[in-house]
Chain A
Amino acid sequence: MIRLQDISRHFVIGDNTVHALDRVSLHITAGEYVAVMGPSGSGKSTLLNVIGLLDRPDDGRYLLDGEDTTTMDEVRLAGFRRRHIGFVFQSFHLVPRLSAAANVELPMVLAGIPAEQRRRRTTAALEAVGLTDRAGHRPEQLSGGQRQRVAVARATIMGPAVLLADEPTGNLDTASGMEVMALLETLNGDGLTLILVTHDASLGGRARRMVKLLDGRVESDERLSTGPESTP
């Protein structure tokens, strides 16, 4: 599904070259639940951006669904992102002037899906995250947890294979955070590959596989015996 081979990404800041990713190799199969952890500056976000095709590696190969993405142009990358990848951000990234429903619809608008079909799928997606009665509300009228659930509905509306969540509970209180995690894990249970970036050990411990990064390298990569079911 996701195969990273010797991926490097560095940034030049002033006179220094920062190796955000230093020959990282990683293989993630379909349906996995992976937590990516590490202190800030360890390259977690860069890894997520590379996997999400938002950023290009300077070196190495990245195969997504068997295809080499490192040689694709922007237009093909955009298509790949649309079809294969969903994003959930720490700060939700909802468009403030649009209703919850319109936010969920957005990826389908960009994909040119007809309005009637869009409406049907949006209604179903909002129902799945338990926000049917909030469809017409704008983000400012929703609680943090509700906003993140809208974001999850939007991230999954195109039926992606991979869901990338970057500190999805970072801006939420514990209760809403748990709600969102439960939602993400349910989606994973239905077969969606879930990659969770966090620095919160208790959150990372819920995953079935944990990849720890330090200074742009994979420090450890272990299977965890505990699944989400065993967490209280």
Chain B
Amino acid sequence: MDLTLYAAGAVAAQPLRAGLTALGIAVGVAAVILLTAIGEGVHRYVLAEFTQFGTNLLAITPGKTQTFGVSGAMVSTTRPLSLEDAAALARLDGITAAVPVIQGNASVEFGERGRRTTVLGVNHQVPAVWQLRVRMGRFLPADDTGHPRAYAVLGAKLHRELFGDHNPLGQRIRVGGERYRIVGVMAPKGQLLGFDLDDTIYLPVAKVMAMFDREGLMEVDLLYRPEMASEAVAAAVRSTLMRRHGHEDFTITTQDQMLEVLGSILGILTVAVGALGGISLLVGGVGILTIMTISVHERTAEIGLLRALGARPNQILALFLAESAALSAAGGLAGLMAGTGLARGLAVLVPKLPVHVAWEYLILAAALAVVIGLAAGVAPAARASRTPPVEALRSE
């Protein structure tokens, strides 16, 4: 304890040098905290974006794959997901809504204006399943799936681009050469992972299948009762489709799985940006190493004196380790305060940037700072403890 005070005194005796050395660690710690705060913020933001669609969702895509999407090699042996499949699934016990989905890209024209946009072929269940709100008019009606009327619903951005502030309800537009009547406009939803949910047009799924000349759906989204277990629903869906297709040529993705995969990807992202901050922490550690090496060299006579006064080699070791630990701890503490302060400030200044200071990363950064400080101090301290006392005394 008293040796610690002695070490602290040695650090404090050269405030400028100690301050600059600690600054290196402080910058590193602050960088780790700031970067992980942004990483963690993005993580939470993305997960929130996903869960806004509800967590009791289940998606069926054609083709048997372990990951998302359709494997090209599987297409030929895969029976397409049909509207009848979707209808059969919708009748399952516990399923409250089913949306068959087909997506494409087409030009939407109104008078002189035109715009290429994302076309979503869906049914009337979209607002319920995707948790979207209709701002004007209504969504697509519950028509006969095979023979729907030519109605269209605009995304908020498409509405603005084609009509400005004018009311588009009842207007006729052309999509892929066919005429549709606008029955509704969606409330703005924003972007999700670069996909603009507002730059879209919703059309009846059968019309879009014909437009793109496709036999099968790209996806069927099912909404099940919240109290049901996703595994049980997935099992029921699997057995129904197996009966209809003969073998498992489809993939069921539950929202839980999706969140899990997404969460782990985003977790890696956070760790990766944290590691970038860790590099600057390492540089700060090199600063401590440098200063401690110089300090041991400069204070050789003091080391000799302490040995003459009866200090054991491990007391000398502890002394210099304590000094480097004190430097890194001071830097770490300053970095903690600066890092959290900056993160909070950033959240206020740039409200759109998701920032979340996570305690586990705070503790990690602080612990890392002390570990790096100690590690940087080991070599100089060991050198100090091994210096023969006679030589040390003679060095003055």
Contacts and interface: CB of A to CB of B under 8 A. Distances in A.
Interface string A64-98: 00000000001100110111000101010101011
A75 B313 CA distance: 7
Residue among B308, B311, B390 with the highest chain A CB neighbour number at 10 A: B308
B9 A98 contact: yes
Contacts of B388: 55
B188 to A, nearest CB: 66
B213 interface: no
B212 interface: no
A98 B299 CA distance: 14
B79 to A, nearest CB: 81
Given A54-B389, A55-B388, A95-B302, 8 more contacts: A55-B390, A81-B309, A82-B309, A97-B10, A110-B306, A110-B310, A110-B311, A115-B2
Interchain residue pairs A-B with the least CB separation, the first 10: A82-B310, A97-B13, A78-B312, A54-B389, A107-B309, A109-B2, A93-B305, A81-B310, A55-B390, A110-B311
A54 B393 contact: yes
B307 interface: yes
A129 interface: no
Contact of B310 (A55, A79, A91, A95): A79
A55 B393 CA distance: 11
Contacts of A106: 6, 306, 309
Contact of A74 (B305, B312, B390, B393): B312
Given A91-B396, A97-B13, A78 B307 contact: yes
A68 B306 CA distance: 23
B55 interface: no
B59 to A, nearest CB: 69
Given A91-B396, A93-B301, A115-B2, A110 B309 contact: yes
B313 A49 contact: no
12 contacts: A49-B390, A54-B308, A78-B307, A79-B310, A81-B307, A81-B308, A87-B309, A93-B301, A95-B302, A98-B9, A109-B2, A110-B306
Contacts of B302: 95
Interface in A136-167: 154, 158
User: In the complex, which range does the number of interface residues on chain B fall in?
Assistant: 20 to 34
B74 interface: no
Contacts of B304: 93
Residue among A54, A79, A107, A110 with the highest chain B CB neighbour number at 10 A: A110
A168 interface: no
Contacts of A178: none
Nearest to B13: A97
Given A98-B9, A109-B2, A93 B393 contact: yes
Chain B interface helix/strand/loop/mixed: helix
A111 interface: yes
B294 interface: no
Contacts of B396: 91, 93
Interface string B148-161: 00000000000000
B316 to A, nearest CB: 10
Contact of B308 (A52, A79, A109): A52
B315 interface: yes
A169 B8 CA distance: 33
Interface in B373-389: 388-389
B3 interface: yes
Contact of A78 (B301, B313, B390): B313
A55 B391 CA distance: 9
A29 B311 CA distance: 26
Contact of A110 (B9, B315, B389): B315
Interface string A193-212: 00000000000000000000
Contact of B305 (A49, A79, A82, A95): A95
A111 B3 CA distance: 10
Contacts of A154: 309
Contacts of A112: 2
Interface string A55-67: 1000000000000
Nearest to B394: A45
B280 to A, nearest CB: 31
A175 B396 CA distance: 25
A11 to B, nearest CB: 11
Contacts of A55: 388-390
A54 B307 contact: yes
Nearest to A50: B390
Nearest to B12: A97
Interface string A103-130: 0001101111001000000000000000
A199 B308 CA distance: 23
Contacts of A75: 312-314
Nearest to B311: A110
Contacts of A81: 307-310
B12 to A, nearest CB: 8
Contacts of A98: 9
B174 to A, nearest CB: 86
Contacts of A54: 307-308, 389-390, 393
Nearest to A113: B2
A42 B195 CA distance: 89
B393 A158 contact: no
A211 B50 CA distance: 92
Nearest to B389: A54
A89 B393 contact: yes
